Structure 1
Amino acid sequence: MRPIREVLEAKSIAVIGASRDQEKPGAQLLKVLKRVGYQGHVAGVNPQGGEVFGNTLYRNLEEIPFDVDLAVLLIPPRFVPDALRECARKGVKGVVISAEGFAETGPQGAKYQEEVSAILKSTGMRGFGPNTLGLVNTATKLTTSYFANSWMLMPGSIGFAAQSGIFVGALLRYLSSLNGLHLSKGIGLGNKVDVNEADALSYLMDDEQTRIIGMYLEDVKDGRLFLENLRKAVAKKPVLIIKSGRTQAGARASASHTASLAIEDAVFDGAIRQAGAIRLTGIDDFIRTLRGFLNMPLPKGDRLAFVTYSGAQAIMSIDAAIEHGLQVAGLNEATQARIAKVIATSSKTKNPIDIFPDWLAHGYEKTTSEILKALLDDDGVDGIVFISFADATPEVYQPMADILKEDRRKPVFLSLLGDIKDKEACQKFLDANGLPCYDFPEYAVRVFAHMRQYARIKERPSE
């Protein structure tokens, strides 16, 4: 079988099932590819020929006057096998099969999927799906999703593979609306008639644009190969995995979603943790963790320091740290002496460091800057969480941003609690400066724990 790199880096695309109706998916995809600036050749295929959005519609693949690397099949399941045979004759390297109605729907759909599998194996073409919106390559502006827009194709460093249909497109749209979270590559696996999670890992681990890998899985097609590739990938970059079907009800739902086979969740969880992946509970956990890995260095130890204006939030944060197997850092005398220059009460110079009401005398900027520099210099501190308030102007965080622009020896996180509207400007400023900011400090603790988990994996002796 061809490497999927040849498909993800396709220099030409044919849209099979491109309608002359401008509202239909095929026509919309041709429009999207032009609008986002895809760098390769594009052609539409429609048995009646014609034109849509300035694109010639060819009656068949043979009429297309250039080689086709990737074909997107936007046609009903019953027409897919013949279309695949035509693709093989044209020398197409890979196909995205978008339609649902295959093995996830019953015996007839399973029959279609078996035929598709046989054709792909006999021809060497790679197949993504069925039941998927397919692929994204932000480096070349390649997309097979008719929902895509230019902002979604902004180059980033997150490689994401999902065993789902429309979910990849929805997540990509959501991520692209957040500051600093853009994809490098997106791979929709769908029913995994051919390309599966092990193939996706094999590609993403060697993709230079990808710094971190995310996966949404409902099952695993080839457990041995998946774990083998997972171990190799983790040695190069973090792998974050969301695995649904944790409950019996969820497992039953996944079977009807993408024809998934049940896998005991405890077995899966233990296997991927041993391999070094980070198991996440859902999309919110995934996004928070992305911000940590993309912006901060890995922690060298388990010891956290907390800087707070609220004793209650500090106590809850300490509980969270202990529950995640972390430690509360003990500050050395030199650090406490430096902190004492801006915090008058000696008991408040210990960890957690309580800056209220002293910051009112010295100013928030000076108080937090002096404490940040002291904690960065303390070898007994491996990570720092600043617990602050939302009703402040972004300017108060400028000194902290300036310090961390030059000195990121340790991961530093912020938590802002208060009026959501007041928080927006600060959140935007912190995102733009690569400073992970969360609603609650417990979230920051959890992200630190995930990063520490991966750091321990990286510290293992090479096998």
Structure 2
Amino acid sequence: MPRAEHPLHRLFYPRSVAIIGASRNPRKFGHIQVANLLRMGYEGRIYPINPRADEISGLRCYPSVLEVPGEIDVAIVTIPAPKVPPVVEECAEKGVRFVVVISSGFREAGPEGERLQEAMLKAVEGTETRIVGPNTTGILNPEARFTTTFMPIEGPVREGPVSFVVQTGLFAGILLIHILTAEHFGIAKVAGLGNKCDLDEVEVLEYLGQDERTRVIAMYIEGVKNGRELMRVAKEVGLDKPIVVLKSGRTEAGTRAALSHTGSVVGRDEVFDAACRQCGMIRARDFEELIDLAKAFAMQPPPRGPRLGVASYSGAGCVLASDECTLQGLELA
């Protein structure tokens, strides 16, 4: 377990969680988030926030985080975007450490959404409250039996050595199910960052670098706010743990799509490619390769050199593998 004094420790190991937008309707995200924590066996305090309910799933409800009697480490926000900034302001007033904003409709949605995102940041200015998101499924930590996702999880999630830092909800959603049922390597942490209006991949990467549960780090990013700092941290972390990165927005069409997905401004792809080579990050071409490489590093030690052997049930397979080895700068033993 990471050292308790790390600034992000309570994001992944919260003692208490508030679900703002908790619902009695089993089909709504706010109900699923409460149910997920109960089904996973989360042992911390759970505070559903709903001014129109007395209890949800057997838990007492509160009209506001300001009415909660105890401290709150993480608040999960799943309400319409226009209502988010004042709620974030209440969280900051309460002293909530982390606010995970699941809601969409911010910078990725246009000028009005960008205004709401700026108002949300203004609400935590000068406080110790940090924002994760918005527009995300958020956090998953199987060891702590904690998650913020609105995708139904039926029980404890298999623990493993791979952590994901991503700008997509897939890894706390449908791809999580695929990994657990088809890939079998297990999860250490998932950090879905969404629009990255505050917390970004550099801080999470640094945290995972000293997380004892994490042996492999896989990243999906659409834009980078501080390239030099990312390279510095990646060089340090990559000495002990493989970092596999999938970056989208390689074309003009992809750049436009990234802007409407997470509001990310995508830089030149050749610059990012060169940065990866300089700091030792391994670049994947698609989600399949990202998962394959993460699985390989999770189940095998890193190779000591470029020499390898090829075995196949078909001669054609050996020929194709030999070609690919040469193209990738490897040597056949």
With structure 2 as the length reference, what TM-score do the two structures score? Answer: 0.94
Counterpart CA distance in 1 for 2:299 and 2:175 is: 20
Q: Which has the higher contact order (CA 8 A, sep 6+)?
A: 2
Counterpart CA distance in 2 for 1:83 and 1:134 is: 18
Counterpart CA distance in 1 for 2:104 and 2:210 is: 31
83-92 vs 264-273, greater mean Cα deviation: 83-92
Counterpart CA distance in 2 for 1:65 and 1:293 is: 45
- Residue number in structure 2 paired with 1:220: 224
1:242 to 2:246 alignment: yes
CA drift at 1:195: 0.5
1:78 to 2:107 alignment: no
CA drift at 1:143: 0.2
Contact 2:183 2:295 in 1 (8 A): no
- Residue number in structure 1 paired with 2:61: 57
Contact 2:149 2:172 in 1 (8 A): no
C-alpha spacing 1:18/1:307, structure 2 compared with 1 (3 Å): closer
Contact 1:152 1:182 in 2 (8 A): no
C-alpha spacing 1:35/1:168, structure 2 compared with 1 (3 Å): closer
CA drift at 1:280: 0.3
1:121 to 2:132 alignment: no
Contact 2:139 2:192 in 1 (8 A): yes
Q: Which amino acid aligns with 2:113?
A: G
C-alpha spacing 1:209/1:150, structure 2 compared with 1 (3 Å): farther
CA drift at 1:15: 0.3
User: Could you tell me which of 268, 279, 285 is aligned with 1:264?
Assistant: 268
Counterpart CA distance in 2 for 1:212 and 1:4 is: 19
Q: What aligned pairs does 1:198-209 form with structure 2 within 5 A after superposition?
A: 198-209=202-213
Counterpart CA distance in 1 for 2:19 and 2:290 is: 33
Q: Which amino acid aligns with 2:8?
A: I
- Residue number in structure 1 paired with 2:3: none
Q: Which amino acid aligns with 1:323?
A: L
Counterpart CA distance in 2 for 1:306 and 1:7 is: 43
**Count of matched residue pairs:** 328
Q: Which has the higher helix share?
A: 1
CA drift at 1:291: 2.4
Counterpart CA distance in 1 for 2:313 and 2:73 is: 58
Q: What aligned pairs does 1:6-405 form with structure 2 within 5 A after superposition?
A: 6-150=10-154, 153-166=157-170, 168-329=172-333
Q: Which amino acid aligns with 1:27?
A: H
Counterpart CA distance in 1 for 2:37 and 2:82 is: 26
C-alpha spacing 1:151/1:324, structure 2 compared with 1 (3 Å): farther
Counterpart CA distance in 2 for 1:325 and 1:38 is: 47
CA drift at 1:65: 2.8
Counterpart CA distance in 2 for 1:308 and 1:69 is: 52
Contact 1:152 1:176 in 2 (8 A): no
C-alpha spacing 1:309/1:188, structure 2 compared with 1 (3 Å): closer
RMSD of aligned alpha carbons:
1.6
- What residue ranges of structure 1 are gaps of 5+ in the alignment? 330-463
Contact 1:162 1:168 in 2 (8 A): no
Contact 2:32 2:152 in 1 (8 A): no
C-alpha spacing 1:269/1:36, structure 2 compared with 1 (3 Å): same
CA drift at 1:167: 5.3
Larger radius of gyration: 1
- Residue number in structure 2 paired with 1:394: none
Counterpart CA distance in 2 for 1:309 and 1:164 is: 37
CA drift at 1:309: 4.5
CA drift at 1:252: 0.9
C-alpha spacing 1:173/1:134, structure 2 compared with 1 (3 Å): same
Contact 2:140 2:172 in 1 (8 A): no
What CA deviation, in whole Å up to 9, does each residue of 1:215-242 have, x standing for no partner? 0000101112111111111122010000
C-alpha spacing 1:189/1:309, structure 2 compared with 1 (3 Å): closer
CA drift at 1:87: 0.9
Counterpart CA distance in 2 for 1:323 and 1:70 is: 47
What CA deviation, in whole Å up to 9, does each residue of 1:298-332 have, x standing for no partner? 22222222344432222222112111111222xxx
Contact 1:45 1:61 in 2 (8 A): yes
CA drift at 1:166: 4.9
Contact 2:164 2:171 in 1 (8 A): no
Contact 1:21 1:52 in 2 (8 A): no
What CA deviation, in whole Å up to 9, does each residue of 1:52-94 have, x standing for no partner? 2112211122332321110000111111111112112221100
C-alpha spacing 1:299/1:102, structure 2 compared with 1 (3 Å): same
Q: Which amino acid aligns with 2:150?
A: Y
- What residue ranges of structure 2 are gaps of 5+ in the alignment? 1-5
- Identity among equivalent positions (%) equals 38
What CA deviation, in whole Å up to 9, does each residue of 1:83-116 have, x standing for no partner? 1121122211001001110011111100011111
Counterpart CA distance in 2 for 1:55 and 1:293 is: 42
Counterpart CA distance in 2 for 1:179 and 1:308 is: 21
What CA deviation, in whole Å up to 9, does each residue of 1:200-223 have, x standing for no partner? 101111111011001000010111
Counterpart CA distance in 1 for 2:64 and 2:72 is: 12
Counterpart CA distance in 2 for 1:84 and 1:308 is: 56
